[in-house]
Structure 1
Amino acid sequence: MIKGVMFDFSGTLFRIESAAKWLRAVVADAGLAVSEDELDACVSGLEEFGAQPGGVPPRQVPPHLEGLWRERDLTAERHRAAFTAMAREAGLPAADLAEALYERSQVSGAWQPYPDAEATLRALRERGIPVAVISNIGWDMRPVFRDHGVDDLVDAYFLSFECGVKKPDPRIFQMACDKLGVAPGDALMVGDEPIADSGAAALGCQVHLLDPLPVDRRPSALAEVLQLL
């Protein structure tokens, strides 16, 4: 019987804006005149190097950034350094846009909750099932939950840069189970990363994986979680 549920953040409860919208917002704020062709090429580069936090994973990581990239979620400093470095590899219209892009990725308006996220979290609260959010991340995304009106539906957050350990290490899942007061065998982990989120299975937790589709293409996958209880 499931007595506690753990959720991933990006690609599970929320999804960041498209890379094109992300870049265009920053270019507009900077007052730069950039051609459509240059914008399109830059978006392709950002996606190639996985430079958007919460966006598509990189198709390549330059050798000189491999170490930093592997450890990006362990501290706020490494996270910023890794993503801004990858953004610079993408051929930005202006070099200082790398920092502006990183800052944009932490703005609540850049994130959208999945259509059924609030209803699912509220249903769990009504059933008395505690909820934790576990994320490999380098910044505090609690304001995103607050600004979208769902922070009161989450009992605890376990963020890799705060915990000093990241998924799939079983320790971060154990921390969450301990906080929620449930045995791992009575906990469900819901996420979108097969390797990272399936680390919970090593403790005996059930794991349910979702497809991190854009929000307009995944209207009800989270609600299906309620059927697993």
Structure 2
Amino acid sequence: MTAVLFDFSGTLFRIESTASWLRAVLDEADIALPEPELAQAAKALHVAGALPGGANPAQLPEELAEVWRIRDQSAELHRAAYTGLSRRVPLPDPGLHDALYDRHRTPAAWTPYPDAAEVLYGLCERGIGIGVVSNIGWDLRPVFREHGLDRFVDAYVLSYEHGIQKPDPRLFATACEALEVDPRETLMVGDDRRADGGAAALGCRVHLVDPLPTAERPDGLRPVLDLAG
């Protein structure tokens, strides 16, 4: 392999829990909720699928179905989809819904998997190109910079910047072109069989990881070092 492409959420990084997400925003707004109410609201947000990078909606509202389907094609669609889901959950202040969305875009909301730096460093040491290919509606580069992983990444290909989302092969082709590599000599690493599996249409090899919490997946990326050869 001459290059490895990585997904972002659930692959290299993990979003904080829904309870942590909500608590951080309430603290910032100086709003106190009794713990049982906070836990109930966090559970409702989780079921609604309101946290980007978290669980999918248990039941997708019909009026949001179309925007949800194409949510990663622009920043506006991404925000509309997730704040639309969030607003289905009553919160003490209507402004909290936008604050929640803004919170998830901050480096503090994300934690790299324990072996992410080790694996990225190992690939760089071998001269293997590294790209990040993500279905997303905002610029994740500051997350990589804040956590010290940006130095390993040669190219970022983000769906909202191209108006194309995985599994469309064109997004993976864009990444291969940016790295100047042959897709047939490229490994795509992700956590979504359908979305990340789209790279196979170009001839890329695909390796899937389990998007577990970071404490439960200490070495899930290490096989990539062997697969990359």
- C-alpha separation between the residues in 2 aligned to 1:185 and 1:191? 17
Aligned to 1:221: 220
- TM-fit CA distance, 1:91: 2.3
Q: TM-score, normalised by structure 2?
A: 0.97
- TM-fit CA distance, 1:89: 0.8
Number of residue-to-residue matches in the alignment: 228
- TM-fit CA distance, 1:48: 1.0
The farther-off stretch of 133-142 and 173-182 is 173-182
Paired residue type of 1:226:
L
- C-alpha separation between the residues in 1 aligned to 2:221 and 2:204? 18
- C-alpha separation between the residues in 2 aligned to 1:146 and 1:76? 21
Give runs of aligned pairs for residues 34-73 of structure 1, distance below 5 A.
34-73=33-72
- Aligned-residue CA RMSD in angstroms? 0.9
Aligned to 1:197: 196
Aligned to 2:76: 77
Report if the CA contact (8 A) 1:48-1:90 is conserved. Answer: no
- C-alpha separation between the residues in 1 aligned to 2:4 and 2:57? 29
- C-alpha separation between the residues in 1 aligned to 2:13 and 2:100? 18
Paired residue type of 2:24:
A
Paired residue type of 1:60:
Q
Aligned to 1:127: 126
- C-alpha separation between the residues in 2 aligned to 1:224 and 1:74? 31
Aligned to 1:143: 142
Question: For each residue in 1:126-150, what CA deviation from the matched residue of structure 2 results, as whole angstroms up to 9, or x when unmatched?
Answer: 0000000000000001000001111
Between the aligned residues of both structures, percent identity stands at 56
Aligned to 2:14: 15
Report if the CA contact (8 A) 1:139-1:161 is conserved. Answer: yes
For structure 2, which runs of at least 5 residues remain unmatched after alignment? Answer: none
- TM-fit CA distance, 1:195: 0.6
Aligned to 1:92: 91
- TM-fit CA distance, 1:217: 0.7
Moved over 3 A (4+): none
- TM-fit CA distance, 1:207: 0.3
- TM-fit CA distance, 1:30: 1.1
